[in-house]
Chains A and B, each alone.
Chain A
Amino acid sequence: MRATGSVGISTVKLIKTVSLEYREGNSDKVYEVDLCEVGTGQFVVNFRYGRRGSTLREGTKTPDSLSRSAAEEIFDNLVLSKTTKGYRDAAALESSSLEDDVVSSNDDDSPLDPRRQSVLNRLSEGHESKSTWRLSRAVWRAGEMRLKPAEPLLLTLISSGDAMLDYCIVWSLGRCGSVQCLPALRQLEADRDRPDSVRRIAAVALFELFDDNDRQRALTDCFASLPSELAELVQNGPAKALSDAIAVVLDGGDSHAFQVLDILYLINNQFTQPALLELIKTAPLKPNYFQPIRHIFKASELRADGEFFGHIAYRFETARSNFRMRSDFDYVYSRQAKPTLGPHATNAFSTQTRNYLRRRIWRTLQRLGELQSADYVVLAVGVLLPISDNDAAGIREESRYDWQSGNYSTIHFDRYASFWAFNQILYGNSPRYEPDPSRRFFQCRTGYEPGGRVPEEREESFPRLWEQNPKVVVTLLERSCCHDVHRFAVKILRDCEEFCQELHLDSLLNFLRSVYDVTTELGFEIARQRYDSDNPDTELVLALANCGFEPARQQARQWITEQKTILFKDSDFVVALIASPQADTREFARETLRTVMLLEPFAQVIIGRLFAMLQSLGDDDGLIARDVAETLLRVFTSQLRKIGVEVIRDLLRHTLPELQRFAGEIVLTHDTLSKRPQDDLLQSLLDAGHPEVRVIGVQIVGQLPDYDLKNNVELLLSLTRHRHADIRDAIRATVSRLAQSDTSFGRRIAEQLIEALLVPGAPEGVPSHTARVLREDLSEYLASVSAATVSKLLRSRSAPAQDIGGLLLPTNVKVEDLGVDEIVKLADHQVLSIREASWKMCNESVERMCADAETFSRMANSKWDDSRRFAFQFIRDHFVEKELLTPRVVIGICDSIQPDVQQFGHELVTRVFQDEHGEEYVLKLSEHPTEPMQLFASNFLEQHVGDSPDRLGQLAPYFVSVLSRVNKGRVSKRRAYRFLEHEALKSENAAEIVTSILARQSATSAIQDKAIAIETMVKIHAKWPSISVPTRVRPVEVRRGV
C-alpha cells in the first residue's frame, strides 16, 4: 500500500489503496484504486490504470464526494469487478511468493483476500442479489477455492429447486465441506426425487468427507450393491480378474449395468483402480461407456484425482469424435436427432462434445492455477503423464490467407500441436508457441519453426506453482515417456537448487537411468556434486557408467579407474559393469579387468554369475551377449578352457546366435574339447541357423588333427557340398591344405567331388562351388580322371560339370581318341572353353580334318559365331587343294540358312568352281529355299542349263518357286523369264516345258510379270504353233472416230 498523489482532485488523506495487476500472455496491466478523504466525512474513489511502467490514465468513480460507507462500497465493488476480470492483488502476490514453505495459498483464507471475500459476499446475498454473477458459478468457485467459510452459506442454499445449483453446491461441499454437511448430503443422496446427477455427485462428495468409520460402512453398502460376481473380486482382487469380470458384466448390458463403473470409482481401492484405468484406456467412447466415463471424469475433478483425470483427458484428446451435431444453421434437412443423452442414448461424443471437453480440461486447470491451488499441479501431472513420444505427430505447416492484407502466411505446427491442455501446461508462457485462432491447437509463433532453438527460459504456465512442488516434478521425470515433458521438468528442477541437493538417491538413480539426455544430464550434475571420492557409492558410479549421457560415463570411468581397487571388490559391481547396457562401458570393463588381478574364487563367482546372466538374455540383447562373451574369452581365458561341457550345451541351446557362437569359441580354445569335440556339439554348431555360428563349427573341424580328418573324407565332402555357402567357403582352405600335404588324399577327394558333380539335384550354388574347388584347389589331382568321365561331364546338363569337362578335355583326353565328328560336336558346345579345346584339337590334327572334309565342314554350320569363324578360317587356310572341297562339301556348306555361312559358301563355290561340276551345283543349289541362294543359282542358268530340255524339266519347280515369290526377287524373276524365253525359242521340247510354267504363272496380278509371260507365250505360239497356250487373241475394237 502506498500513497499516490493525484492531479486535479485535491487529495487530503489516503485512506486505503489497492494495486491490482493483470498478466497474461503479452498483456501486463496495473489497476490502482484509492479511497481518499477529501474533506471531513467526504470520501472519493479514484483509479489509475494502464500498462505497467507507462503513464497511467486516471479517473474517478465519484463525481461527488460521498459518505465513507458509500465510498467504501464503491471501492469494494470496483476492486471486485476488476478481480473477477482476472486482476490480482499485487501485494498479495508478493507476500505469497515470499512464503516458500507454503505449498499453495489455497488454505490461506485470510479475510484480507478480496477474491474469497467476494465469493462469500455473493453466497451470502443468495438468490436475492441483482448481481450478474450467477449464484451457481459463485458456488462452484467456492468449491474450487476450497473455501471453508462458505460451507454454512452453501448449506443454506441447498434445495432451492434448481438442480444445477444443487449439483454445484454438492460439488463445492465435497471440496470444502466438513462433517457438518454430511446429513444434508446424505439426505440428497438418498432422495430419489432428485436428479441422478445430483445424487451421484453427492455420493462422491460424501466419500470425500467421511471419516474412517463412515467410509467403511458406505463401502459395505457399495459392495452389496455390486453384482455378486464383482463384489468378491472388488474386495480381494486380483485386479486382472476384476478387469475381466467387469468386461463380462458390461458385455451386452444396458445402461443400468454400466452404473457399476460409478460405484467402482467410489470404492477406489487397490483393485478397482487398475481395473477401471484399464477400462478407461480402452473403452470405446460410445453409448453406455461414455456416460459413466464422463461421470468419473467429473468425480475425479472433485477429488483432484490426477491419474483418472489425466487418463480420461488423454482419451478425449486422442480419440476421434463419433459424429458431428448438426447446428441449427445447417441448411440441411435432418431427421429427428438420435438421442445422445439418457439411458437410451444411441450416440455419444460428438465433435462439439469433444471440443468442449478438451477446452474444459484446461479451463479447470487454469482456474485452479489462478487460485494458486496445489490441485493444479496434481491434475496437470495427471494430464501430462499419459502423453508419450508415441503421440508425437509429424510436424506440418499450413498456408493461411489473411483477408486484410491479402497475403498468405505459413503457419507451422509442432509435433504435439493437437494437445490443447498439454501445450497450455508446458507452453503457456512460451516465446515459441501460441494458441491458434480456433483455440484448438498450438501453433508456432512467427519466427520459430519446429526443430528450432529451444529457449533457455521456462515456458510453462504458473511456474511458481511448479517450483513449490518439486517432488511432483521428480515423479514426472521418473514416470513420463515424453521428451518435451522431461525438458520442461528439468528446467524447473534446475531452478530448485536446494531441493536438488536433498534429492533422494533412488530418484537420482532413476534420473540417470532415464533414456532422455536432458534428464540424465541433470542427474549427472547432481551426482557430481554428491560424489565422495574417498568413499565412492558403487550404486551411483554404476548408474553413471550405465547411463545414456556420454560425459557422465566418461566421468564414471575416470572415477572407476581412480578407485578400482575398492570398487572391484564388489562382485555385483563387476558383473553389472561387464554386462552394462552401454557398449563403451562394456569395453571399458573388459580393458580395465585385464589390468586387475582377480583371485580365483572371486573370478569363479563372477563367471558363474555372468553365465547365469547370459542365460537370461532376450532376443534383443545380441550386442550385450557378444561383448560379455568377448570379455569372458579375454579376461577369463584360463577358466574357460576347463569349463564343463554342460555349460556349453546350455549356451548352444540359447536362441541368440551370439551365445551359440560363444559356445563354439569356448570349444575352439578348450583344453580337451578342441581336439575331440563331442559329436552333438559339432553337429549342432554346423547345423546352426546363423552363418557366424556355422563358421566356428567349420573352424573347429579345420583344427582337428590331420590324421582324423583324412580318415573322415565323408565329413569333408559333405561340408564342401554343404547347402550353406559360408560352410563351403570355410572348409575350402582345410581341404586345400590337406590335399597339398597328401597327394593321395587330394586324388581321392577330387574323384569323389567329380562323381558328386554328375549327380543331378544338388542345392543351388553347390555344383558351381564344387567346380570352383576342383578348378582352383584340386586341379593337380585331376590327372587320373578317365576320358569316359570327361565325356560324361561334357554331356551333362549342368553347366559347372560341363565347365570341369572343358577344363579336363585338353589334358585328360587324347585327340587321337576322339573322332572328327566328336570334335565337330564339341565345337558346338555352349561352354567357350570346350569350343576352344575343340579348335585346338583341330589345329593339332589338320591332316585328319582334311581327310574327312565332309564331316569337318559341318563345323561351318555351328550355331556359335566363334566356332563358325574358326571353321571358315580353317577351311580357307588348310583346304587349299581344290580336290578337298568337293561339290558335296561346298553344297553342304551352302545348304545352311545362315547368311554368313551362305556367303562363305558362295566364296568357296567361286574359288573351287570347275565347269564339270556346274550342272551339279545348279541342280542342287536350286532346291535351296532361301531367296539369296535362288538368286545365286540363277547365275549358272545360261551356262549349265541352256540347250538341255531335260535339265530344264528338272528345274521346272525351281522356276515356279522363283516366279511365285510374292513381291520380291525381282532380279531372279527377270533372269528366269529371260532364260525361259530364250530356251523356249530354241527347241520345241523346251518350249513345251516353258509354256507349262508360264501358263501357271500368267495368272499373276503383277502387271509386269503377267505382260512378260503373255508376251513370251505369244512368241512361243508364233514359233511353235502346235503348242497350245492359254492366250486368246481378241480382235482390236475399232472405234469410229470423227
Chain B
Amino acid sequence: MEFNYSYQKDSLVNNNASRTEMSFAPDTLREATFFRGELKQNIAFRESISALHDVVVSDLRWQPKDRTAYKQWRARQEEVDWAEVAAQKRSVATELKGVRGELDELRTRSAGRMRPYYSARQRYFDYIYKRDYDAWMVLDPVITVHPDEVFFECFSRDESSYGRLSVGFDVFQNVGEFACGTTNIDYSSALYDEFQKIRSYKATSFEIDPSGFEIQTAQNESHKEVKIDLPESWVRGFLQVSSVMALPAATVKLHPMDIHNICFILRRRREVFGPRSMRFQLKPGDPVKIVFDPWNIELECPRSIYDGDREEEIRVWGRRRIHILERLIPVAQSFSVHLLGKGMPSFYTADLGDMTFTLGLSGWTTNDWSSAGNFDLLAPRADVDNQTKQSVFRALHENWFATPDSLAERLDLDRSIVLGALAAYTQAGRAIWDANKGVYRIRELSREPLPMDQLRFSSEREQSATRFLEQKAVKIQSSFVADGDILVLEGRVRTEKHHFKPSIRIDADERIIQAECTCNWHQQNRLRKGPCEHILALRMQHARQNTPKRLLSLT
C-alpha cells in the first residue's frame, strides 16, 4: 500500500541556551492543518514525546543472530581439525605445529594491516546508517489538531505497538491561530536528539508550520517528496489496535511505581522458555496481583485496588513492550491499564496531568500466522446502513469530537446505532475513541480512504475460515490439555462436498505448534504458507467459545 507525502521543508528544532523552537513540517497534500503555541510543561512533554519516539522505533521481533563470522571461523577450524586428524604421524604433527604458528603470525600481521581498512569501512557504514536512518522509520507520525487538544499517533515497526500522546491546550500558553484536522509530519531521528534538549528554563515554542500551505511552488529545491510503501499487515495492525480501544475492557488503575516494579522484574530476568506471559489476577476490592510466567513471580500492587465487579484472570503477552513506559514513570501521576482479555490487545494510559500518553499493545509482539485466528478485531460490529453512517460522521465532523450520547440525542438515533456507525469509522481509520475524555474524535489516518475490503483479512484463507464460522460449519469434537500445557483441539469442518478433520496443538504461549488437516491444500503445503482455512476455522471457533463475555455481544 503506497502512501505519498510532500513536505515543504524539513521539520526543525532550533536549540539555543534560552529557547527551543520546534517546527514540524506538515504534509502539504492534505487539508491545511496548523497550530502554534508555547509549552508550559516542558519536561513532561519531553519525556512523553521521547516515549512516543520509542514506540516508533520499537522492534522486538526476533532477529536471527549474525553467525557469519562464527561460520567462517568454524570452516577454517574444520580444515585445521581435519588436518590434525590426517596428521597421525608425530613428525607431521610437529611440522604442522610450526607451520600453524607461522600461519597464525601471518594472520595476525594480515589482520593488523587490514585493521585500518576495516575500521574505516565500519565508520563509513556507521555514517551511511546515520545518514539514512530516516529510511528506517516506517510511517511518519500523525498529528491531529482539535479544538481542545493536539494529539500525536504512531505505530511501531514491528506492527505491534501503538502510541498516542494527547496534549491538552492547557499545556500551552499563547496558543495562536490553528486549523483543525489531521496531517502527517516530517519526522527524523535527529529530531529526537533535539527533543532531549528541552528544558523547563528555556522557552519552548511548538508549531505545526502553516507556511507550507501558503504558496505551492512547482519545483522548489527544498521540496521533499516522500513515498512510503507500507505493508498491508502494518496498516491492518494499526487499525486493529486503534479500533479496539472503544471495546469494553477490564480497567485497572496502577500507581506509577507499579509500572516501575513490572519493568524492574522484567529487567532483572531473561526468559529462556515460555510461556512469556503476564497474568493479571483481579479480584474486586483486593490489590491487583500480577504473576509473571514462567518464573511464577507474584507482584502485588498494594496501592492499586481493583474496583471491577467480577473476579477474573487475564493473560497478556509481549510484555517487554511495557519498557516503552519507563521514561514516563517519574512524570506520570498514575497509569490505567485496559485489558480486553486473554491474548487480546491491552492499553496502558499514563496520566500526565494535562497530557495523556496511551500505549496500545497487540496480543503478541509478532503477528505471524502462529497466533492467527483469534478474535476478529475488524469484524463489523453492528449493521448500520450507509446513509445513517454518513450522517453520524457528518455530525461528528461539526465539532470534531463528541460523546456518543450527545450524537444520539442530536441525530435522534438509537445509541447502539450511533455506536455501530462510529465503530465502523474507527475500523476504517477515520475516527478514534478517546477513552480519557469519553469522546469519539475525527482522525483521518490517510489522505485517501483505506481499502477496507482488502484490509480486513490477512489472507483469503482467513476470509473463508470466517465464512465457515458464519455458516456454523465448524464443530469442535475434542479439546484436552496434554503434555503439561499443550492444548489439543480436534474438530470437523463441513463443506458442501467434503468433510475435513483439522487438528491443532497450541502451546502455553497460544501459538500453533502443530497442525494437521485432511484437505488437499494442507497436504501440499503443510504449514509452510501458514495454516489452511479449516485449521484457522477450528482455531477461531475455539477462540470464539472462550471470548470474554463482555465482548461476545459484539461478534
Please list the residues of chain A having a beta carbon within 8 angstroms of any beta carbon in chain B: 760, 796-797, 830, 854-855, 858, 863, 888-889, 891-892, 895-897, 923-924, 927, 929-930, 957, 960-961, 964, 966-967, 1000-1001, 1003-1006
B264 located at the interface, meaning its Cβ lies under 8 Å from any Cβ of chain A in the complex: yes
A155–B43 Cα distance when bound, in Å, is 124
Taking each of A858, A892, A1005, which has the highest tally of chain B beta carbons within 10 Å of its own beta carbon? A1005
Q: Which residue of A lies closest to B195 (CB)?
A: A929
A766–B17 Cα distance when bound, in Å, is 44
Given A929-B196, A966-B267, A1000-B257, 8 more pairs with CB closer than 8 A: A929-B327, A961-B330, A964-B256, A1000-B256, A1003-B257, A1003-B260, A1004-B261, A1005-B265
Q: Is the CB of B199 within 8 A of A895?
A: yes
Q: Which of B193, B221, B264 contacts A966 (CB 8 A)?
A: B264
Q: Contacts A854-B17, A888-B17, A895-B199 hold; do A966 and B260 have CB atoms under 8 A apart?
A: yes
Taking each of B18, B219, B260, B329, which has the highest tally of chain A beta carbons within 10 Å of its own beta carbon? B260
Q: Contacts A858-B16, A927-B43, A964-B330 hold; do A1004 and B197 have CB atoms under 8 A apart?
A: no
B159 located at the interface, meaning its Cβ lies under 8 Å from any Cβ of chain A in the complex: no
Chain B residues whose C-beta falls within 8 Å of the C-beta of A888 in the assembled complex? 17-18
Contact with A along B186-205 (1 / 0, CB 8 A): 00001001001101110000
Q: Which of B221, B256, B265, B326 contacts A760 (CB 8 A)?
A: B221
Q: Which residue of B lies closest to A929 (CB)?
A: B196
B contacts with A, residue count (CB < 8 A): 39
Q: Is the CB of B46 within 8 A of A929?
A: yes
Chain B residues whose C-beta falls within 8 Å of the C-beta of A1000 in the assembled complex? 256-257
Q: In the complex, how many angstroms separate the beta carbon of A280 from the nearest chain B beta carbon?
A: 44
B175 located at the interface, meaning its Cβ lies under 8 Å from any Cβ of chain A in the complex: no
Contact with A along B227-264 (1 / 0, CB 8 A): 00000000000000000000000000001111011011
Chain A residues whose C-beta falls within 8 Å of the C-beta of B97 in the assembled complex? none
Taking each of A854, A855, A930, A964, which has the highest tally of chain B beta carbons within 10 Å of its own beta carbon? A964
Chain B residues whose C-beta falls within 8 Å of the C-beta of A1006 in the assembled complex? 264
The 6 closest A-B pairs by CB, nearest first: A1003-B257, A961-B330, A1005-B261, A967-B267, A888-B17, A964-B330
B394 located at the interface, meaning its Cβ lies under 8 Å from any Cβ of chain A in the complex: no
Q: Which residue of B lies closest to A888 (CB)?
A: B17
Q: Is the CB of A967 within 8 A of B264?
A: yes
Chain B residues whose C-beta falls within 8 Å of the C-beta of A961 in the assembled complex? 330
Q: Is the CB of B196 within 8 A of A897?
A: yes
B268 located at the interface, meaning its Cβ lies under 8 Å from any Cβ of chain A in the complex: yes
Q: In the complex, how many angstroms separate the beta carbon of A1000 from the nearest chain B beta carbon?
A: 7
Q: Is the CB of A929 within 8 A of B47?
A: yes
A927–B50 Cα distance when bound, in Å, is 15
B439 located at the interface, meaning its Cβ lies under 8 Å from any Cβ of chain A in the complex: no
B303 located at the interface, meaning its Cβ lies under 8 Å from any Cβ of chain A in the complex: yes
Q: Is the CB of B299 within 8 A of A1005?
A: yes
Q: Is the CB of A964 within 8 A of B329?
A: yes
A830–B190 Cα distance when bound, in Å, is 15
Chain A residues whose C-beta falls within 8 Å of the C-beta of B47 in the assembled complex? 929
Q: In the complex, how many angstroms separate the beta carbon of A1005 from the nearest chain B beta carbon?
A: 4
B302 located at the interface, meaning its Cβ lies under 8 Å from any Cβ of chain A in the complex: yes
Q: In the complex, how many angstroms separate the beta carbon of A43 from the nearest chain B beta carbon?
A: 81
Q: Which of A889, A964, A1003 contacts B302 (CB 8 A)?
A: A1003
Q: Which of B18, B43, B264 contacts A957 (CB 8 A)?
A: B43
Q: Contacts A797-B221, A889-B17, A967-B268 hold; do A957 and B330 have CB atoms under 8 A apart?
A: yes
A858–B255 Cα distance when bound, in Å, is 40
Q: Which residue of B lies closest to A761 (CB)?
A: B219
Q: Which of A796, A929, A967 contacts B221 (CB 8 A)?
A: A796
Chain A residues whose C-beta falls within 8 Å of the C-beta of B50 in the assembled complex? 929
Q: Is the CB of A1003 within 8 A of B221?
A: no
Q: Is the CB of A1003 within 8 A of B258?
A: yes
A1003–B257 Cα distance when bound, in Å, is 6
Chain A residues whose C-beta falls within 8 Å of the C-beta of B16 in the assembled complex? 854-855, 858, 892
A634–B327 Cα distance when bound, in Å, is 84
A1003–B330 Cα distance when bound, in Å, is 13
- Can you list 25 A-B contacts with CB-CB less than 8 angstroms, sorted by A residue number? A760-B219, A797-B222, A863-B130, A895-B196, A897-B196, A897-B197, A924-B199, A927-B200, A929-B47, A929-B327, A957-B330, A964-B330, A966-B260, A966-B263, A966-B326, A966-B329, A967-B268, A1000-B257, A1001-B257, A1003-B255, A1003-B258, A1004-B257, A1004-B260, A1005-B261, A1005-B265
Contact with A along B163-206 (1 / 0, CB 8 A): 00000000000000000000000000010010011011100000
Q: Is the CB of B264 within 8 A of A1005?
A: yes
A149–B261 Cα distance when bound, in Å, is 120
Query: Which B residues, 298 to 340, have Cβ-Cβ distances below 8 Å to chain A?
Result: 299, 302-303, 326-327, 329-331
A52–B18 Cα distance when bound, in Å, is 121
Chain B residues whose C-beta falls within 8 Å of the C-beta of A1005 in the assembled complex? 261, 264-265, 299
Q: Which residue of B lies closest to A1004 (CB)?
A: B257
Q: Which residue of B lies closest to A920 (CB)?
A: B201
Chain B residues whose C-beta falls within 8 Å of the C-beta of A1004 in the assembled complex? 257, 260-261, 264
Chain B residues whose C-beta falls within 8 Å of the C-beta of A889 in the assembled complex? 17
Q: In the complex, how many angstroms separate the beta carbon of B117 from the nearest chain A beta carbon?
A: 18
Q: In the complex, how many angstroms separate the beta carbon of B226 from the nearest chain A beta carbon?
A: 14
Q: Which residue of B lies closest to A968 (CB)?
A: B267
A796–B302 Cα distance when bound, in Å, is 61
A760–B131 Cα distance when bound, in Å, is 21
Q: Is the CB of A927 within 8 A of B260?
A: no
Q: In the complex, how many angstroms separate the beta carbon of B146 from the nearest chain A beta carbon?
A: 29
A957–B328 Cα distance when bound, in Å, is 12
Q: Which of A892, A896, A929, A1001 contacts B17 (CB 8 A)?
A: A892
Q: In the complex, how many angstroms separate the beta carbon of A52 from the nearest chain B beta carbon?
A: 57
Chain A residues whose C-beta falls within 8 Å of the C-beta of B264 in the assembled complex? 966-967, 1004-1006
Chain A residues whose C-beta falls within 8 Å of the C-beta of B263 in the assembled complex? 966-967
A830–B128 Cα distance when bound, in Å, is 12
Contact with A along B273-307 (1 / 0, CB 8 A): 00000000000000000000000000100110000
A1005–B297 Cα distance when bound, in Å, is 12
A960–B236 Cα distance when bound, in Å, is 39
Contact with A along B1-38 (1 / 0, CB 8 A): 00000000000000111100000000000000000000
Chain A residues whose C-beta falls within 8 Å of the C-beta of B201 in the assembled complex? 923-924, 927
Taking each of B16, B18, B46, B131, which has the highest tally of chain A beta carbons within 10 Å of its own beta carbon? B16
Q: Which residue of A lies closest to B302 (CB)?
A: A1003
A1000–B303 Cα distance when bound, in Å, is 10
Q: In the complex, how many angstroms separate the beta carbon of B167 from the nearest chain A beta carbon?
A: 19
Q: Is the CB of A895 within 8 A of B329?
A: no
A924–B256 Cα distance when bound, in Å, is 25
Q: Is the CB of B261 within 8 A of A895?
A: no
Q: In the complex, how many angstroms separate the beta carbon of B120 from the nearest chain A beta carbon?
A: 13
Q: Is the CB of A897 within 8 A of B193?
A: yes
A961–B267 Cα distance when bound, in Å, is 18
Chain B residues whose C-beta falls within 8 Å of the C-beta of A960 in the assembled complex? 330
Chain A residues whose C-beta falls within 8 Å of the C-beta of B329 in the assembled complex? 964, 966
A966–B46 Cα distance when bound, in Å, is 19
Q: Which residue of A lies closest to B268 (CB)?
A: A967
A896–B46 Cα distance when bound, in Å, is 14
A897–B17 Cα distance when bound, in Å, is 15
Chain A residues whose C-beta falls within 8 Å of the C-beta of B268 in the assembled complex? 967
Q: Which residue of B lies closest to A925 (CB)?
A: B199
Taking each of B46, B219, B257, B261, which has the highest tally of chain A beta carbons within 10 Å of its own beta carbon? B257
Chain A residues whose C-beta falls within 8 Å of the C-beta of B18 in the assembled complex? 888
Q: In the complex, how many angstroms separate the beta carbon of A419 from the nearest chain B beta carbon?
A: 43
Q: In the complex, how many angstroms separate the beta carbon of B243 from the nearest chain A beta carbon?
A: 32
A227–B121 Cα distance when bound, in Å, is 81
Q: Which residue of B lies closest to A861 (CB)?
A: B15
Chain B residues whose C-beta falls within 8 Å of the C-beta of A855 in the assembled complex? 16
Q: In the complex, how many angstroms separate the beta carbon of B41 from the nearest chain A beta carbon?
A: 11
A957–B352 Cα distance when bound, in Å, is 13
Q: In the complex, how many angstroms separate the beta carbon of B298 from the nearest chain A beta carbon?
A: 10
